[in-house]
Structure 1
Amino acid sequence: MKNIHQIVLPINLEIIIPKDDSVRLLYEVTDGLNYKKLYRIYSILGRNSAIAPKTLFRIVVYGYMKRIFSSRELEKACISDVNFRWLL
């Protein structure tokens, strides 16, 4: 049964995540990288990705920073962790 009495409010993740958080530093560092080889590999596969390769790379690197090595655990983190959501 749905909870019809619950209020739904949009959340601005820019406000929630501190300016000096490690996820912001990762974003800035990876923003300057050259992703040509990564995009070439993705284009060879011949399918459209649901998520940009650059974003996926950031999520994997941030997962490693947080000692998350499993793709299933990364998926869970992308659903429940605000920092991972910010990267998406």
Structure 2
Amino acid sequence: MTIIKRITKGSAVIFVAIVITAILEYAYQVSMAHFLSPNTFGVLSVALSIFWVSTTILTSGVKISMAKFIAEDTNEERVSSYLLNGILFNLKRGKY
């Protein structure tokens, strides 16, 4: 598989994942607005906003660092380790 095909396939997968995530997030927001009182929904919205801002700040350098280490390293075993650790770190922070 050529590099262009791999990039295209990877981009398509990421695009589909982003669309599905947006749809699920919208459904979640609508359902929470329906089931919660206005005050409780406001508290939830503020809590989620604080969570997402802090998560973005805490993980801002992870993607850049992973890209740098993977691009520089030729050892396949260490590259797999970088990827696994990055995925686990982001899952732990609730980013995926």
Is this a same-fold pair by TM over 0.5?
no
Q: Which has the larger radius of gyration?
A: 2
Which is helix-richer, 1 or 2?
A: 2
Higher relative contact order (CA 8 A, sep 6+): 1
Q: TM-score, with normalisation over the residues of structure 2?
A: 0.28
